[in-house]
Amino acid sequence: MKKNNLHSGIKGFLTVLCLLVFTSALHAQEKGSQQPMKYMSQEIENMTLAKELAAYGYANESAISLISAAQIVIDESAGEAKVKETTRGGEDAGTSELTLDVEKLLTDAEAFADNDKNLKAVIKSMRELSAASRGRVGGPGYVIDKVNGEEANMYAVEFTGGDAAEAAVVGDGSTDLDLYIFDEDGNLIVLDEDAGDECYVMWKPRSTGVYVITILNRGSVLNEFALVTN
């Protein structure tokens, strides 16, 4: 989708999206050259688990959960996704409290650990491991964000032609989220409209280019989510 299209307005986008619901399955078949695929890679699956662990850790002040999330992020050499442009629907949903930043996870885990010497020793070792692995590239990218009820967020991300492309979304459980992938020309490539707020799509782009990842909140309240891409 061209840059000017990204700013065409969320209301107009949602209207078009509603129409696409009726034709999306057929359209995706017609775009067979994009080769939609099914199976989640281990790295993407691990990163969705990291999000769940982090969410549980913050909700329950669990140091172990935050440490486990940090371990996964380090193991997968993950970092914030290189999003070229972001468009959010409606009013500002605010800053997300959830994080997958390793240093923040470990700092908060240390606070939750109180005076537990064993946990603090583990956290120290994790910091050393994180420092040793800093600079490694090639792992999955993630975005932690919020989407308002009955609104959509869009993220322009570049994918490499000929390689399997993946996008996964894990929400906070409050609403139904749907996931759509559009190419630069606004063509719908693949989608996941299953019930719930865990979505996953995989496809093989014909050529390297920017794809627009669209997350639609079908519910009436805000949903905090993690978007993970390879």
What tokens does 217 get?
Answer: 């909140």
Q: On the CB side of 43, how many CA atoms lie within 13 Å of its CA?
A: 19
Answer yes or no: is 96 within a domain.
Answer: no
Answer yes or no: is 38 within a domain.
Answer: no
Q: Which residues have a Cβ under 8 Å from the Cβ of 72 and sit 6 or more positions away?
A: 46, 47, 49, 50, 53, 78
Q: Report pLDDT for 29.
A: 41
Q: Report pLDDT for 139.
A: 77
Query: Confidence class of residue 134 from pLDDT cuts 50, 70 and 90?
Result: low
Contact 203, 161 (CB under 8 A): no
pLDDT digits (tens, 9 = 90+) for 23-42: 443 344 444 445 445 678 99
Answer yes or no: is 56 within a domain.
Answer: no
- The number of distinct structural domains making up the chain is 1
pLDDT digits (tens, 9 = 90+) for 69-115: 999 999 998 888 888 878 887 777 777 789 999 999 999 999 999 98
Answer yes or no: is 58 within a domain.
Answer: no
Classify residue 3 as exposed, middle or buried by CB count within 10 Å of its CB (0-12, 13-18, 19+): exposed
Query: Confidence class of residue 138 from pLDDT cuts 50, 70 and 90?
Result: low
Cα-only R_g, the chain:
18
Answer yes or no: is 146 within a domain.
Answer: yes
Answer yes or no: is 219 within a domain.
Answer: yes
CA distance 66 to 85: 29
Rounded to two decimals, the pTM is 0.79
Residue with tokens 């032609």: 161
Q: Report pLDDT for 63.
A: 97
What domain range includes position 205?
A: 3-22+140-229
* pLDDT of 121 above 90: yes
Answer yes or no: is 89 within a domain.
Answer: no
Answer yes or no: is 110 within a domain.
Answer: no
Q: Report pLDDT for 135.
A: 53
CATH code (residue 212): 2.60.120.380
CA angle 43, 96, 215 (to 5 degrees): 60
